[in-house]
Amino acid sequence: MRVLIVEDEVDLARGIERALREEGFVCDLAFDGDEGLYKAKAWEYDAILLDLLLPGCDGRTLLRKLRAEKPTPVLVLTAIDGTEDKVELLDSGADDYLVKPFELAELLARLKALIRRAAHAPNPILEWGEIQLDTAARTVKKGDQPIPLPPKEYALLEFLALRRGSVVSRTTIYEHLYSEDDETLSNVLDVYVANLRRKLGRPVIETRRGEGYQIGALPAKSEQSPE
């Protein structure tokens, strides 16, 4: 999962980035609103963490301009604490907000919940066939057997599992699994897919030639959003 952090307090932004990387996210950073808006429009992020008081384009303006074009989930980081402001934030297109100072653990929990909601998978446990993937604990089991996965293999499996029933193109996978600073060769993806098939069973990930990859079954009814 790829997240954009728009925050002008460099130490805070770097701290969040470190915490997210430890959880297997890839992050891009923007230290002012103009850079943030540019990146938010240019790339497909799984979520954006948005500070409100920013040099250049302020957070509210960024949110308004982004919403005119894209539904990327946005978690606002705000120093304000008034009820009206919160209502206004949610009305203006923020998906959630967190009042500074916050605990990184809460930030991570809310961020994961936001990404699951966007994928219409409110349950943190994704199950299909014999496979069980816990998006909160970041663990995978096949039957009763825990299957330890390196971070990128886990990230690929989770990304596909949250989009079950859809073909996901290689370009989309690259956009969501790598930050702008990563430099990789395109055949690395084939290696991850081959590794996952070896560990979890060949049918777990289907190749749609010329289109991309797919985890076959649609989510079970009970896992779909009750909204």
Q: Return residues touching Ca ion (CB under 5 A).
A: 8, 51, 53
* Chain position whose Cβ is nearest to Ca ion: 53
Q: How far is the CB of 54 from Ca ion (least distance, A)?
A: 6
Query: Hey, how many other C-beta atoms are within 10 angstroms of the C-beta on 33?
Result: 26
Give the integer Cα–Cα distance in Å for 43 and 170: 15
Min dist. Cβ of residue 23 to Ca ion (A): 23
Q: In terms of CB distance, is 69 or 81 closer to Ca ion?
A: 81
Smallest separation, CB 55 to Ca ion (Å)? 8
Q: Which is nearer to Ca ion, 51 or 158 (CB)?
A: 51
Q: Is residue 49 within 8 Å of residue 5, measured between CB atoms? A: yes
Q: Cβ closer to Ca ion: 8 or 95?
A: 8
Supply the minimum distance, in Å, between the C-beta of residue 12 and Ca ion.
8
Nearer to Ca ion, 77 or 162 (CB): 77
Q: How far apart are CA 157 and CA 123, in angstroms?
A: 16
Q: Give the CA distances from residue 126 to residues 77, 131, 166, in Å, rounded to whole numbers and listed in that order.
A: 28, 8, 15
Q: Terminal CA-to-CA distance of the chain, rounded, Å? A: 24
